[in-house]
Amino acid sequence: MSQPQLDSVRSMYDERSEQYDENKVHVRQARDYLDWAQVKEGESVLDLACGTGLVALGAKDVVGPSGYVVGVDISEGMLNVARRKAEAAGVEVLFTNHDISDLSGLEILPKGSIGFDVITCAAALILLDDPLQAVRNWSTLLRPGGRVVTDVQTKDANLVMNIFAAIAPGVGETVPWHAHRWQSQAALEQLMVDAGLTVQTVFETGTYATTHYDRAAAPDLFDQAVGKSMFKNFGREPMREKAKALFVDKFTHLAGPTGAIDEECRYWIVVATSPL
């Protein structure tokens, strides 16, 4: 990932860090990760793009004192929230700042082991420029037979993000998420195969949240979105009014004759293992 893009992701999440855990979808998804990854007592877990530690701290509860958990993220704001939570819970998890696209040089392997039992990367694959290169890199940190669990949102699961991605070129803006790449569950499965891993399971989750949007509320939806760190660039003058018009047009087009859209937040999940 280019440095400006990394900086933009970092500042987006630094700004959001203190409110991040208010998003109950992320909290629930992180809990589900422990089941999908089948984390067990005594295991070692590397949680990539760990954010505020939702998966990492949940994993530490399961692996217990004999287990080992590391969280890696690019946002110091998110990491600080995670560290604070670990301290309050009195548990030891190493939270470290690094770009997860390339972990070479990072000395994090469990002592006396050649790799982690489990690698998780929740709600972040979409932010990586070259996910194949990243997963290949991650797999060098897995023990033979170790598991990788990751996800992308289903293609219609995030209306606002999708609209901003679609209108970005029209206002000379870029977005750091690559939704266009993740239009099917098969794409996620193929990523693992191309990275030399064996897919154990790939599936679509149930619905984590449903949101109803009306055409009449589209201008307000734009205003609310640009008030958040993720979309604030679109709220800058002089492009703001053009961006808003494009946003409303795109919304209207997607809503069709009913003028309404029901968004269902779901994820495609893949669990894959490294060769024995």
Ligand X SMILES: C[S@@+](CC[C@H](N)C(=O)[O-])C[C@H]1O[C@@H](n2cnc3c(N)ncnc32)[C@H](O)[C@@H]1O
Nearest to 137 by CA among 63, 206, 191: 191
Which of 43, 60, 69, 101 contacts ligand X by CB under 6 A?
101
* Span 16-45, contacts to ligand X by CB under 6 A: 26, 30
Q: Is 55 in the site for ligand X (CB under 6 A)?
A: yes
AA letter at 145: G
Binding mask 148-187 for ligand X (x = CB under 6 A): ----------------------------------------
Cα 165 to Cα 33, 132, 262, distances in angstroms: 27, 21, 19
For ligand X, give the closer residue by CB, 95 or 251: 95
Q: Is 195 in the site for ligand X (CB under 6 A)?
A: no
Span interacting with ligand X, options 96-104, 211-219, 234-242, 255-263, rule CB under 6 A: 96-104
> Quick one: which H or E segment has residue 68?
strand 68-73
8 A C-beta contact, residue 80 and residue 89: no
For ligand X, give the closer residue by CB, 73 or 117: 73
Q: CA 220, CA 234: separation in Å to the nearest integer?
A: 14
Q: At its nearest, how many Å lie between ligand X and the CB of residue 232?
A: 16
Write phi, then psi, for 44 (nearest 5 degrees). -105, 135
Q: At its nearest, how many Å lie between ligand X and the CB of residue 122?
A: 3
Q: At its nearest, how many Å lie between ligand X and the CB of residue 33?
A: 8
For ligand X, give the closer residue by CB, 43 or 73: 73
Cα 116 to Cα 113, 195, 253, distances in angstroms: 8, 17, 47
Give the angle subtended at the CA of 23 by the CAs of 21 and 29, to the nearest 5°.
90
Alpha helices (H) along the chain: 3-16, 24-36, 54-63, 76-89, 131-139, 159-167, 185-194, 218-226, 240-255
Q: CA 159, CA 167: separation in Å to the nearest integer?
A: 12
Q: At its nearest, how many Å lie between ligand X and the CB of residue 9?
A: 5
For ligand X, give the closer residue by CB, 124 or 271: 124
Give the angle subtended at the CA of 146 by the CAs of 144 and 149, to the nearest 5°.
145
Q: Is 103 in the site for ligand X (CB under 6 A)?
A: no
Size of the residue set binding ligand X (CB under 6 A): 21
Q: CA 128, CA 4: separation in Å to the nearest integer?
A: 13
Binding mask 116-155 for ligand X (x = CB under 6 A): ------xxx--x----------------------------
Which of 59, 63, 74, 166 contacts ligand X by CB under 6 A?
74
Q: CA 247, CA 168: separation in Å to the nearest integer?
A: 10
Q: At its nearest, how many Å lie between ligand X and the CB of residue 196?
A: 21
Q: At its nearest, how many Å lie between ligand X and the CB of residue 26?
A: 4
| Interface positions with ligand X (CB under 6 A) | 1, 9, 13, 26, 30, 49-51, 54-55, 73-75, 78, 99-101, 122-124, 127
